[in-house]
Structure 1
């Protein structure tokens, strides 16, 4: 949010400069165009570090008139999806600007708003194949002029993800990378690989899923498929239809916001390979030994660092959770609890970490956990912020049973282990937790002979 606050004046200034200098801009249509239907037209808007505030409309056939289009540089294509209202994507300039901040590339915004703006979604789906043929021919001319296909990165959103796949398939999987942000599900689900994105479409394909129960695609499509918050019901998004249009598009659009966060480096999201979101939340997938010293892959732009090992592992599903607002990243800890109650108890825990006035909160409440005498219960606690040095810690135990007697959990030991930093585990011994009562304490380094 801070980055957006900082960049908004810059983007507005850039827009004014574009109009003043006669720069080319993304096609701006309206619901009237969508109602009547639009015929496909593909416009390619070039941005580089030399003209980051002023787009150049590229010819599809002749590159000689564009000295800023340096084919010895890598090229990133940004491809939007379905535009039912005809308006330009609000995120496209920020994504372009962040890519240019990261590295010296050609950024080409693929403007196919004429073709994507149509109340008939099926027609927009049909247009993705023709638009992909257009892009394929353009990239082949780039290759003929000296561009390396391995240096091409396509970032496709929704329908744009599958369009990227069609281009990659046309080029025999030779392009370097496709990043697919919540690939569209309707009209693509259960289709064969040649009718959708698949891992063979590029040398490396990374995918993010945020709306698998509505507008997005559910099954894996790449070398690594990230499922944010299980791939559905993103935190902070409306839960009822009373919220209007945001109810339908918030989960789907969150994919772009998460990717922007990976580019601006406000925080790093570590993802955990796992068979299911349930097992991930249960803390059964916290080991990342198969990835060596780099640990579990991070979501987003920098995941290419893991591409070689991911290609060896085959298709990998990875899970992470986020906050409702930026910064989206959360910090994971393993919490191990041993109790000495005679009877088995079931319940939930809220854990808080404190340092210098900062409080981080983790609610381990996706399901009721079992606490059995002298048996270690492992919880996966994901905190809303990172606390570098834990001064104090609090734990609240609850059962969720309003009408039953209150329980007491007699804790023999609670151990807190940071999942990313190589830090000494922190412990507290001999603790009494009365139901629904927060207990604050100062943890100490765990004893070497800890059981």
Structure 2
């Protein structure tokens, strides 16, 4: 077996691994690093993996690809069998629309993707359309998950096309995807008759990704990529119109030295940087830097140019590579009253507990339906 084949096997092993150490917040047990896929309970074996045909035009709607709308502090599952569903729904036509897609071993209400969902809800300016394809991406079926991305993209493309016909403006629709979900965002462009507006890719997945499913900057008018584990679980090099290399793009400093998989921890943390960007007081700017991730994290040594906001606020006209350096976990509240999400704290400093208690019930109980 060559070295590349061995690397692929090792990557799949670590992605499918669910034995992870725990830390404890006072009075609230949690797993470290955003639960690192929630200790996903699964009795599946590789024999249980489902492979959806990607070229079946009669595949959609697929019962294993569900859509849920969150807006105005309400949650509403989409009834794809009802032709006038949008008109009777809680959809707010005055708000921008976000299509939010989780990655492998995810779901509508699983970490880490619901950290981003809750941040959009807290911001209050968006309709959030969540794509739940968890039944087609369950562990230990990573290879099947990669295969199923095209089928998920087809059904999602048909869904947003139907919303467009019903009156939802797609010219400002943004697709936000984490890991495999980022590639699904890109694949959707192959199944719609309009130009995708914007894609925000949160550390798009690297293992087993080939050119026929890989996200490229041709998938939308603007493709913005946040790299937190480039070259390992995440794609390396230039992927979008704008690529952000966070702490060099590969290993996040707060993930090192902890009793966890530092690579997987770094891959997951992209969601907290995105969530942080939705809070006006926390938005951070990135400096122009080298063209590739991972790059050596050298604070203060950047290219000449104008800094740009990272995440939700990135200008649609921006292009190039930008770097951000930060030794503290993003969107982690440091003290009582700080804006943030305790789930974005790698460990459990005591200062986080007052922050939890100060959150309203909607923000504190993120695992319950709104």
Give the TM-score taking structure 1 as reference length. 0.56
- Alignment deviations for residues 290-334 of structure 1 (CA, whole Å, 9 cap, x no partner): xxxxx410111111xx222x2xxxx511111112334589xxxxx
Correspondence for 1:307: 316
Task: Name which of structure 1's ranges 35-44 and 198-207 shifts more when overlaid on structure 2.
Answer: 35-44
Shift of 1:177: 1.1
Match of 1:287 among 296, 304, 310: 304
CA distance 1:61–1:196, shift in 2 (3 Å): farther
TM alignment of 1:30-429, pairs within 5 A: 30-33=41-44, 37=48, 39=50, 41-51=64-74, 55-65=75-85, 66-70=88-92, 73-83=95-105, 88-171=109-192, 174-188=195-209, 191-192=210-211, 194-239=212-257, 243-244=259-260, 246-276=261-291, 281=298, 283-288=300-305, 295-303=306-314, 306-308=315-317, 310=318, 315-326=319-330
Instruction: Give the 3-state SS of the residue equivalent to 1:90 in structure 2.
Output: coil
Instruction: Report deviation, 1:91.
Output: 3.5
Structure 2 CA distance for partners of 1:273 and 1:96, relative to 1, 3 Å? same
Q: For residues 161-213 of structure 1, give each alpha carbon's deviation from its aligned partner in whole angstroms, at most 9, with x where no partner exists.
A: 0000000233366122110000001122xx43x42111121111110111113
RMSD: 3.0
Deviation for aligned residue 1:42: 0.7
How far does the alpha carbon of each residue in 1:104-146 deviate from its partner, in whole angstroms, 9 at most, with x for none?
3321111111011131311110010000000000011011112
SS at match of 2:215: coil
- What are the ranges of 5 or more consecutive residues in structure 1 without an aligned counterpart? 9-27, 289-294, 330-451
Which stretch has the larger CA shift, 229-238 or 58-67? 58-67
**Cα separation, 1, equivalents of 2:290 and 2:275:** 26
The count of aligned residue pairs is: 282
In the alignment, what sits opposite 2:366?
Answer: none
Partner SS, residue 176 of structure 2: strand
SS in 1 for 2:144: helix
Secondary structure of 1:183's match?
coil
Is 1:33–1:118's contact at 8 Å kept on the other side of the alignment? yes
Larger radius of gyration: 1
User: Relative to structure 1, is the Cα distance of residues 71 and 132 closer, same or farther in structure 2, using a 3 angstrom cutoff?
Assistant: farther
Report the Cα distance in structure 2 between the residues aligned to 1:88 and 1:38, rounded to whole angstroms.
22
Q: 1:238-266, CA deviations, whole angstroms, 9 ceiling, x for partnerless residues?
A: 348xx34x434201001011111111345
Contact 2:216 2:240 in 1 (8 A): yes
Higher RCO (C-alpha under 8 Å, 6+ residues apart): 2
Partner of 2:5: none
Q: Distance in 1 between matches of 2:246 and 2:307?
A: 15
Residues 145-170 of structure 1 show CA distances to partners (whole Å, capped at 9, x for unaligned) of: 12222121111000000000000233
Instruction: Give the Cα–Cα distance (whole angstroms) in 2 for the partners of residues 138 and 87 of structure 1.
Output: 16
C-alpha spacing 1:144/1:287, structure 2 compared with 1 (3 Å): same
